[in-house]
Amino acid sequence: MGGLIDVMPGPPVDRDEHDYALWEKRVDALMVLASAKGYFTVDGLRRALEDMGEESFETMTYYERWIASVTQNLIESGAFTIEELRAQMEQVQARGDTYGEASLDSGKEQADA
């Protein structure tokens, strides 16, 4: 790979900014912690991001790509199995239709906010 496949002059930079959502900050924190604990490196993160291909830039947000890469690396390093992840995701999904409902401890944080 080695970065951008297509370095052509493009459209102006869209400078809208948004505050990161709680789930995005958590993805960031999971990356920092998992790498600090030796499960994988930033190089592994980047490798899996690149492997998603150029079109993932169009279809996924930044932290969506990150959680996909973090998860891929954690599976590879044996932190959990694919089956464990599948079962856990099924359980999470069954809790409700919003992030607030599905993430067990977010009720507490909202109360603190």
Partner 1 sequence: MPEPAPNFLPPYWDADAAKPAFSMGKKVRVKSGAPPGHVRTPWYVRGRTGVVERVCGHFHDPQELAYGRGDGPKLPLYRVRFALADIWGAEAGFAETDTIDIEIYESWLEPFWDYGGDFDAQAARLEKELG
Partner 2 sequence: MPHDGHDHVSPSGHPYRPDQDAPLTHWQVMEIAVRELLVEKGIATAEEIQAQIDSMDRRSPALGAKVVARAWSDEDFKARLLADGSAACREMGIEVDALKLIVVENTEDVHNLVVCTLCSCYPRNVLGLPPDWYKQRAYRTRAVREPRTVLKEFGVELPGTTALRVHDSTADMRYLVLPKRPDGAEGWSEEQLAEIVSRDSMIGVAVPQI
Q: Which positions lie near partner 2, rule CB under 8 A?
A: 2-4, 6-18, 20-30, 32-34, 37, 39, 46, 49, 57, 60, 62-64, 67-68, 70-71, 74, 79-80, 84-85, 88-89, 91-93, 96-107, 110-111, 113
Place of tokens 């493009």: 10
List the single partner that 59 binds among partner 2, partner 1, none, CB under 5 to 8 Å by kind: none
List the single partner that 110 binds among partner 1, partner 2, none, CB under 5 to 8 Å by kind: partner 2
Half-sphere exposure of 14 (CA within 13 A, CB side): 4
80 conformational bin, left if phi > 0, alpha if psi -120 to 50, beta if neither:
beta
Q: Which is nearer to partner 1, 43 or 101 (CB)?
A: 43
CA 34/CA 88 separation, integer angstroms: 18
